[in-house]
Structure 1
Amino acid sequence: MSVHPSGFDPRMTPANGHAAAHELRGVIEATRYVKGTIRTVQQPLVNLGDAPRGDRASQLLFGEAFRVIDERDGFAFGQALRDGYCGYVIAGALTRQEAATHWVAAPATHLYPKARLKAPPEVAIFFGSHVRVTGDLGDFQRISTGHYIPTGHLQPLRARFSDTVGVADMFLGTPYLWGGCSRWGIDCSGLVQQALVACGMDCPRDSDQQRALGRELHPNEPLQRGDLIFWRGHVGMMSDAEMLLHANAHHMAVAYEPLAEARARIATNAEATGTGAGEIEMRRRP
């Protein structure tokens, strides 16, 4: 993790040298200070990069709100309202702010051009996406884009699940993707974040930030469903006292794995590479 010249974590600091959020005046040096403009993601997915044309740090989903602080050369710099994460997105992926009424509670859903099962869908959006419903047609809901979504795939904005592991299990088999947060591809911390947010809990984006969640377990405490397991740079979720559910680069997918096997494998890799990344931390579910 890099450090902002001011000493702040750049992932959570809405400032890029050209502009900074107005609340940072007197704290961080910038050419100008702005309130920012809230916009809405209009693509199924958009990468949130650490620089214009930089590496993917995270992703934003359809309907998510993004606070734009600076815009130049086709990129918008700003902050995701979901978790405060900062970065650059393609400016064309954003549109005017729109208030959502529902969210997608299925792993993915098609956007149908007509409220008809056999109508060829034009595109899909993913779990956690926000939409504004404009009409109830029974089996389908019309949304503000003019598309139709199966009613069973949507939940009112305030509705939440109760089992974090059950949510994470919906992503089983999803390809591993660094910075990913959807059924198209997801990483370890993205999986945990999606599961916790869907159950009404605030959750930061990256695994090092997620170490602050819940409380640390004592060595002799038995693991429970939903407990979080951390290695350096990695996080997983226990489905019971023995089985770990995690998005990982070993399987290149979201997979179940006995915790004992994962610990042995990661410890062996850490010893071979001399990284010291085999140490484990266990935290009681939030």
Structure 2
Amino acid sequence: MNAHDPRMTPANGHAAAHELRGVVEATRYVKGTVRTVQQPLVNLSESPRGERSSQLLFGEAFRVIDERDGFAFGQSLRDGYCGYVISGALTRQDAATHWVAAPATHLYPKARLKAPPEVAIFFGSHVRVTSDLGDFKKISTGHFIPTGHLQNLRARFSDPVGVADMFLGTPYLWGGSSRWGIDCSGLVQTALIACGLDCPRDSDQQRGVGRELHREEPLQRGDLIFWQGHVGMMSDATTLLHANAHHMAVAYEPLSQAAARISAGASGTGSGEIAMRRRPELGR
């Protein structure tokens, strides 16, 4: 953890995590309380009522450090990212048993295909299964989810590009983390975490993922390409898959075409020449 990076430092001046005693100044130091997100998505912001920095998904764990005026400050247990969420989006901690491995799934009021679903949750959401009914699984909220949309909590995919491809056409959304809307680093993070690789939230942080490629090394499927303020993933040696503001969506694009546009300053996201190429190291 970098105590100088507020994104990763669970402290807001009023309170700080107990492990930061002597590292940052705060009025009080607390262990914090872990709670669970109880709505499909909730924005994580730098300040109360501030702009979205990231999002938390249904069932995800959030460590609350400070709470006031209807907002909870704390840290996502998914990636250590810190910020503020609406207090009402959180409930008591609920230990998950499964996660949603489809781009989205509906929460049905009954274990019947034609029962009108009440809400949808998204890829990466965590749920606690309480009973198995074959085609459906009942979760702790009393809803039912198609069994094929769930994976055991420890199950992982093996191909990050295949995961990212599930988001093809998803609208671009700054700070987004789901099929409802996603940004460049959110797409990379989602794909890598689904394959069992820890990955931070923002593109500058992701420059530490895997190893840097030598200039002569050819690109291959799964390699990450970085610009200032942007990241994408190679689907093969010449094609980039990325969430970007030019298409306002997750899209495939020739790397040469994307690089030329970004270099010319006509991308909407990212700037300059390619700054780095890295290869995530799965299975380690």
1:278 aligns with 2:279: no
Between the aligned partners of 1:215 and 1:99, the Cα distance in structure 2 is: 34
**Counterpart for residue 107 of structure 1:** 103
1:19-168 matches, within 5 Å, as: 19-168=15-164
User: Identity of counterpart residues, as a percentage?
Assistant: 83
Count of aligned positions: 279
Q: Which amino acid aligns with 1:277?
A: G
> Is residue 180 of structure 1 aligned with residue 184 of structure 2?
no
Amino acid at match of 1:280: A
What is the rounded CA distance, in whole Å, between the counterparts of 1:100 and 1:285 in structure 2?
A: 27
For 1:279 and 1:46, the matched residues in 2 are separated by 33
| C-alpha distance in 2 between matches for 1:152 and 1:31 | 48
**Matching of residue 229 in structure 1 with residue 225 in structure 2:** yes
Deviation at 1:221, TM superposition (A): 0.8
Query: Aligned equivalents of 2:13 and 2:66: distance in 1?
Result: 10
Other structure's SS at 1:83 match: coil
CA distance in 2, matches of 1:217, 1:193: 19
1:254 and 2:250 aligned: yes
Amino acid across the alignment from 2:278: R
Deviations 1:252-279 (A, max 9, x none): 0000000000011111117x99x96223
Task: Measure, in 2, the Cα distance between the counterparts of 1:237 and 1:30.
Answer: 40
Instruction: Give the SS at the match of 1:174.
Output: coil
| AA of the residue aligned to 2:275 | I
Which SS does the other structure have where 1:220 is aligned?
coil
| 1:121/1:7 CA distance change after superposition, 3 Å | closer
The TM-score normalised by the length of structure 2 is 0.96
* TM-score normalised by length of structure 1: 0.95
Q: What residue number does 2:264 align with?
A: 268
- Distance between the aligned counterparts of 1:284 and 1:21, measured in 2? 34
Residue 76 of structure 1, CA deviation: 0.1
C-alpha deviations, 1:159-218, integer Å up to 9, x for none?
000000000000000000000000000000000000000000100000000000111111
Unmatched segments (≥5 aa) in structure 2: none
Alpha-carbon distance, 1:130 to partner: 0.1
